[in-house]
Amino acid sequence: MALISCKSVSLAYEGNTIVKDLDFTVNSGDYLCIVGENGSGKSTLMKALLGLKPPSSGKISFGEGLHKKNIGYLPQQTAVQRDFPASVKEIVLSGCLAKGKFSPFYSKNDKQTAKDNMKKLGIDSIADKCYRELSGGQQQRTLLARALCAAEKLIILDEPATGLDPVAAAEMYDIVRMLNKNDNMTVIMVSHDIEHALSEASHILHIGNTPLFFGTKQEYLNSDAYKQLSGKGEAQ
Amino acid sequence: MSIFETIAYYFSFDFVRYAFIAGVLVSLCAALLGVSLVLKRYSMIGDGLSHVAFGAIAIAAVLDIAPIYFTLPVTIFVAIILLRMGQNSKIKGDAAIAMLSVGALALGYLLMNVFSTNANISGDVCTTLFGSTSILTLSKQDVYTCIILAAVVILAYILFYNRLFSVTFDENFASATGTHSAVYNLALAVITAVVIVIAMNLVGALLISALIIFPALSAMRVFRSFRSVTVCSAVIAVVCSLSGILISIICDTPVGATIVAADIAVFAVFAIAGKFKKA
CATH of the domain at A224: 3.40.50.300
d(CA A134, CA A86): 11
Q: Are A157 and A147 in the same domain?
A: no
Confirm whether A176 is domain-assigned. Answer: no
Residue A211 lies in a domain: yes
Q: Would A92 be classed as within a structural domain? A: yes
Which of these, B200, B187, B194, lies nearest to B132 by C-alpha position? B200
Sketch the domain layout of chain B as residue ranges: 3-273
Q: Residue A235 — pLDDT band, cuts 50, 70, 90?
A: very low
pTM of the shown model? 0.85
CA B71 to chain centre: 15
- Size of chain A in residues: 236
- Alpha helix segments (H runs only) across chain A: 42-49, 79-82, 88-94, 108-120, 136-150, 166-182, 194-200, 217-221, 224-230, 232-235
Size of interface A-B (CB pairs under 8 A): 88
As a whole number, mean pLDDT of residues A94-118 equals 84
Residues 5-64 of A with CB under 8 A from B: 50-52
Contact between A97 and B161 using a beta-carbon 8 Å cutoff: no
Contact A143, A174 (CB under 8 A): no
Give tens-digit pLDDT for A57-67.
Answer: 888 888 877 87
Using the 8-state DSSP alphabet, how is residue A130 labeled? B
**Greater model confidence, A114 or A222:** A114
Given this model, what pLDDT does residue B270 score?
95
d(CA B253, CA A66): 63
Please indicate, yes or no, whether residues A158 and A62 belong to a single structural domain of this protein: yes
pLDDT at B132 over 70: no
- CATH number for B3-273 (one of 3.40.50.1110, 3.90.1150.10, 1.10.3470.10, 1.20.1600.10): it is 1.10.3470.10
Please report residues of B whose CB lies closer than 8 A to that of A146.
Answer: 173
Chain A partners within 8 Å of B228 (Cβ): 85
- The total number of residues written for chain B in this structure: 279
Residue A236: which pLDDT band, with cuts at 50, 70 and 90?
A: very low
Mark yes or no for CB contact A80/B40 under 8 Å. yes
**Domain check: are A93 and A40 in the same one?**
no
Residue A231's pLDDT band, with cuts at 50, 70 and 90, is low
Answer yes or no: do A86 and B223 touch at CB < 8 A.
Answer: no
> Lowest-confidence range among A124-128, B4-8, B55-59, B208-212?
B4-8
Cα distance between residue B149 and residue A92, in whole Å: 32
Vertex B103, ends B99 and B109: CA angle to 5°?
Answer: 155
Per the structure, the complete domain to which residue A55 belongs is given by 1-66+153-166+185-236
Say whether both A205 and A218 belong to one domain: yes
Residues A127 and A157 in one domain: no
Range from A49-53, A91-95, A222-226, B208-212 carrying the lowest mean pLDDT: A222-226
> How distant is the Cα of A192 from the closest Cα of chain B, in angstroms?
21
Angle at B13 between CA B7 and CA B16, to 5 degrees: 70
Do A89 and A72 form a contact (C-beta atoms < 8 A)? no
> A134 and A88 in one domain?
yes
On the question of pLDDT at B51 being above 60, the answer is yes
Q: How confident is the model at residue B101 (pLDDT cuts 50, 70, 90)?
A: confident
Residues A49 and A94 in one domain: no
- Structural domain contains residue A172: no
For the stretch A175-187, pLDDT in tens is 999 999 988 899 9
The top-scoring range by mean pLDDT among A55-69, A97-111, B150-164 is B150-164
Give the residue with greater pLDDT, A224 vs B19: B19
In a domain, A178, yes or no: no
Range among A76-80, B105-109, B131-135 with highest mean pLDDT value: B105-109
pLDDT of residue B30: 92
Residue A228 lies in a domain: yes
Amino acid at A161: A
Q: Are residues A88 and A160 in the same domain?
A: no
Q: How far apart are CA A117 and CA B278, in angstroms?
A: 29
Confidence of residue A233 (pLDDT cuts 50, 70, 90): very low
Residue A179 lies in a domain: no
The verdict on a CB contact (< 8 Å) between B225 and A90 is yes
Q: Which pLDDT score is estimated for A144?
A: 92
CB contact under 8 A, A98 and B162: no
Rounded to the nearest 10 degrees, how much is the dihedral formed by the CA atoms of A112, A118, A120, A125?
-120
A157 lies in the same domain as A50: yes
Q: A91, B169: Cβ pair inside 8 Å?
A: yes
- pLDDT reported for residue B117: 66
Is A174 among the domain residues? no
Percent of chain B with pLDDT over 70: 89
Number of domains comprising chain A: 2
SS3 A36: coil
Q: What is the mean pLDDT of chain B?
A: 84
Residues near A198 by Cβ (< 8 Å), separated by ≥ 6?
A: A33, A204, A217, A220, A221
